[in-house]
Amino acid sequence: MGTAENVELVRRGYTAFNAGDMATLSDMFAEDAVWYVPGSGVLSGTKQGRDAILAYFGELGARTHGNFQADLEDIVGGENHTVAIQQTRGENNGKTLDLATVITFVVRDGKITEGREFFEDTAKADEFWT
């Protein structure tokens, strides 16, 4: 796959994520994919494997009662990484999250093998999930 195909894969992933379409997301991730969440909060850390990544995505939805959204603003494709720029929004226990976020993706053989999140304010993200 080339840069354009990787960008389209990530774009479809955002559509599936925001629709809660875990079956489509499952097909998009390599079985041994890794996802990195920064910070020291309850959801921070490394998610090893597709099932752990999907469980993390499910937790985002569960903790926000289904109102978590990753509003895609732009995607930049490169030779080794595809970078998505998003606005992350959600509500949790009377708190509101509205943060600029960047996720870098590595795609190999048509599957996402790595995702790495970067938040505008990691401490604010950590506090939101408490």
Cβ neighbours around 73 below 10 Å, total: 12
Three-class DSSP category at 120: coil
Each residue's pLDDT tens digit, 64-87: 999 999 999 999 998 889 999 999
Q: Are 54 and 85 a contacting pair, CB within 8 Å?
A: no
47 forms beta bridges with 35
Question: Is residue 20 classed as helix, strand or coil in its secondary structure?
Answer: coil
> For position 7, which CATH number holds?
3.10.450.50
Q: How many domains does the chain contain in total?
A: 1
Name the phi and psi angles at 68, rounded to 5: -70, 135
Domain with 28 in it: 3-128
Q: What is the mean pLDDT of residues 96-103?
A: 97
For residue range 30-45, what is the model confidence (pLDDT) as tens digits?
A: 999 999 999 999 999 9
The mean predicted confidence, pLDDT, of the chain is 95
